[in-house]
Amino acid sequence: MLEETDRAFADVVEDVSPAVVHIRTGGTPNGSARVGQVMGQGSGVIYRPDGWIITNDHVVQGNDKVTVVLSDGREMQGTVRRSNDVQNDVAVVKIDAKNLPVARIGDSALVRPGQYAIAIGAPFGLENTVTVGHISALGRSSQVMDVNGGRGYSGMIQTDASINPGNSGGPLVNIRGEVI
C-alpha cells in the first residue's frame, strides 16, 4: 500500500510539473529594471496550451512584463494581461508559445479536509520543488500587508504542505493531479 501511495505522488508530480513555471519580475512596476536586476519571483501554472498562465497578482507585483521560465529551461517574455485583483490575488500572464503542457483544473468546491495536497513551485527560484501535506481546513480568512498596503483573503484552503516564499502562484494539486 505504501508503494502504491508513493508511486501515486510521484506520478502526479511527473504529470503536473511540466505545466509549472517560474516567474521573475524586474525592477519597478511596468517592468523597468537595470540589467540583471530581479525584484520578485514566484510560480505559475500553464492552463492553456497557447501560453496562458495563471499566477498570483502579488507575484507579478503590478508589472506589465515578466520573464517566464518553462520547466524545460526556456525563458520567455510574458505580458501580464490582468492584475491588481486585490481581493482574489489573481493575475494572468500570456507568453507567445504553442503546444505547451497544461495542468488540469479541478473543482475546489469538492475539496475536503483530510485530503492530500501537493504543492509544486519555484520557491527561492528553485524550479519544480515539491511538498506534500493535507487539507487542514476550508473557508479560512486572512489579512496580509504588502507593497500595495494590504490584501484581504477569504475562502482560502488551509494546508500543511509547505508553501515557501516564491512558491506563490504555483499550483496546489490533489492526488488526481488536478489544480485546486
Sign of CA dihedral 61, 66, 67, 72: positive
Active-site residue, 72 included = no
131 SS3 class: strand
Active-site residue, 89 included = yes
24 SS3 class: strand
Q: Which of 17, 57, 58, 83 is catalytic?
A: 58
Provide the β-strand partners of residue 137. Answer: 158
CA distance 173 to 161: 11
* Residues contacting 63, CB < 8 A, separation 6+: 25, 26, 29, 30, 31, 80, 83
Smallest CA-to-CA distance from 78 within 65, 69, 90, 88 is with 65
134 SS3 class: strand
Active-site residue, 168 included = yes
4 SS3 class: helix
Catalytic residues: 58, 89, 168
